[in-house]
């Protein structure tokens, strides 16, 4: 597939249940959709370095590294609202398995639990350690998987229980990153 125009930095890609492929271009600030052989510039205004994507039935969750926030995008209208701020240079967003609970990561090495009211709880901060954003993204994926397997959100566990369980798996699985 060739993208006409200037797609400079594809940061994240996600597949919706409807078969549409969503991806962000952080450098141009565009959110693209690929569907039925057609590429569409879906949102090209108002996004500041869009990055992480999570697709739900009626909405898209988007973390941005420029505006350092979490946005909710209505899939029908394309309108969006900033719901959580000060999450750092947003990199990823995943579902925990519990309704309304999501996890975000950023390149400085912090993971937040996003609550149903869009408040946030810092679960892990590694900015004073030598962990890259890529290792944190790996940890984010494992943490989301951990929550899905046990059908509990990290809110049910103490921070230390979640981190001990997840970090043990992360060290074995992601140390090579």
pLDDT tens for 79-93 read 999 999 999 998 889
Is position 17 within any domain?
A: yes
Q: Nearest Cα to 25, choosing from 35, 40, 12, 16?
A: 12
Phi then psi dihedrals of residue 73, to 5 deg:
-115, 130
User: What is the rounded (10 degree) CA torsion for 127, 123, 10, 130?
Assistant: 30
Is position 35 within any domain?
A: yes
pTM passes above 0.85: no
Is position 3 within any domain?
A: no
Here the tokens at position 100 are 């309304």
Q: Residue range 28-53: average pLDDT? A: 92
Is position 4 within any domain?
A: no
Residue 131 above 60 pLDDT? no
Is position 5 within any domain?
A: no
**Cβ neighbours of 161 (radius 10 Å):** 11
Q: Residue range 101-111: average pLDDT? A: 86
Q: Read off the CATH number of the domain in which 48 is found.
A: 2.120.10.30
Is position 1 within any domain?
A: no
Domain count, the chain: 1
What range defines the domain where residue 170 resides? 10-174
Is position 86 within any domain?
A: yes
Residue 24 above 50 pLDDT? yes
Is position 107 within any domain?
A: yes
Q: Which of the four pLDDT bands, split at 50, 70 and 90, describes residue 134?
A: low
């Amino acid at each position: 597939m060739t993208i006409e125009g200037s797609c400079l930095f594809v940061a994240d890609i996600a597949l919706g249940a409807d078969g549409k492929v969503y991806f962000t271009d952080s450098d141009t600030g565009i959110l693209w959709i690929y569907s039925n052989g057609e590429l569409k510039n879906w949102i090209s205004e108002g996004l500041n370095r869009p990055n992480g994507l999570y697709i739900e039935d009626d909405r898209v969750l988007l973390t941005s590294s420029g505006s350092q926030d979490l946005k909710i995008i209505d899939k029908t209208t394309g309108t969006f609202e900033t719901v959580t701020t000060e999450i750092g240079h947003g990199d990823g967003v995943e579902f925990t398995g519990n309704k309304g609970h999501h996890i975000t990561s950023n390149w400085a090495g912090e993971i937040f639990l996003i609550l149903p009211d869009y408040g946030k709880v810092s679960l892990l901060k590694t900015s004073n350690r030598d962990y890259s954003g890529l290792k944190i993204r790996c940890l984010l994926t494992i943490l989301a998987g951990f929550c899905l397997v046990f059908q509990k959100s990290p809110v049910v566990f103490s921070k230390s229980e979640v981190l001990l369980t997840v970090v043990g798996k992360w060290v074995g699985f992601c140390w090579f990153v």
